[in-house]
Amino acid sequence: MDLLEILLYIQIALSASCLYRIIRGPSIADRMVAIDIFGVLVVGICAILSIITEKGFILDIGIAWIILSFIGTLTLAKYLSGKKLNE
Amino acid sequence: MVSTILIVIGVLFNLIGCIGLIRLPDVYNRLQSATKCGTLGTCSILVGTLFHYGFTEAGIKAIIAIPILFFGATVAAHALVRGAYHFGIKLGDKSVKDDYKDAIK
């Protein structure tokens, strides 16, 4: 087995371990942290997968995922601090 | 070869960050451990991707993704910890100092 494939499986296992914190987390902020880090790990999966398959378009999925995760986390942080979304 | 070394370093940082996300006691400690996943781990993987492709079409995509991830992850973590503090989530039992409580008065 190639080294990059082993790294890909490790990365998938790490992103599955974030699901533990999403299910278990005591407060809402723990779940949001875990969802944010889950998105970051999925971007890593996309990058490694694009090297293995030699297809460049998989990186586009990563870029879109970064931006959506960033906007979602900022919106939920605004909601937590008790402000309206246009302040 | 350089790209493989960078990707191994990135996966190791992701491993350390995920161990911190599961093991540390409260949300602020978890966040300072888990943000290392974004800035050091996945940015290192993307730099490895850039070394693998060179300045081709896919390499430019990696160059675009690196600054978005680097600044986006840090700004999101800062906003998240601020929102969590204002929401009223307590610090862990073993925390000894809380300077932010005096600063926001």
pLDDT tens for chain B, 105 residues long, are 888 999 999 999 999 988 988 888 888 888 888 888 888 888 999 999 999 888 888 888 888 888 988 888 888 888 888 888 888 777 877 778 877 778 777
Restricting to B residues 25-84, those with a Cβ less than 8 Å away from any Cβ of A are 27, 30-31, 34, 37-38, 41-42, 45-46, 48-49, 52-53, 56-58, 61-62, 64-65, 68-69, 72-73, 75-77, 79-80, 82-84
| A84 domain-assigned | no
Contact status of A47 with chain B (Cβ, < 8 Å):
yes
Q: Does residue A66 lie in a domain region? A: yes
What's the rounded Cα separation, in Å, for the pair B77 and A83? 17
Architecture of domain B2-103: Orthogonal Bundle (1.10)
Q: Is residue A86 part of a domain?
A: no
CB nearest to B82's CB, from A37, A66, A81 = A81
**How do the domains of chain B map onto residue ranges?**
2-103
Q: How many domains does chain A have?
A: 1
- SS3 for chain A, per residue? CCHHHHHHHHHHHHHHHHHHHHHHCCCHHHHHHHHHHHHHHHHHHHHHHHHHHCCCCHHHHHHHHHHHHHHHHHHHHHHHCCCCCCC
Structure tokens belonging to residue B12: 């190791």
Q: In this structure, is residue A46 part of a structural domain?
A: yes
Query: Residue A14 sits in which domain range?
Result: 3-78
Q: Evaluate whether residue A21 is within a structural domain.
A: yes
Instruction: Inform me whether the C-beta atom of residue B2 falls under 8 Å from chain A C-beta atoms.
Output: no
On average, the pLDDT of chain A sits at 86
Backbone angles phi, psi at B93, to 5 degrees: -70, -30
pLDDT in tens, A2-43: 888 898 999 999 888 888 888 887 888 888 888 888 888 899
Judge: A4–B82 Cβ closer than 8 Å, yes or no. no
A30 in any annotated domain: yes
Long-range contact set of residues A59-62: C-beta below 8 Å, sequence gap at least 24: A59/B49, A59/B58, A59/B61, A59/B62, A59/B65, A60/B61, A62/B65
Note whether residue A74 is domain-resident: yes
Separation in Å, CA of A63 to nearest CA in chain B: 6
Is residue A85 domain-resident? no
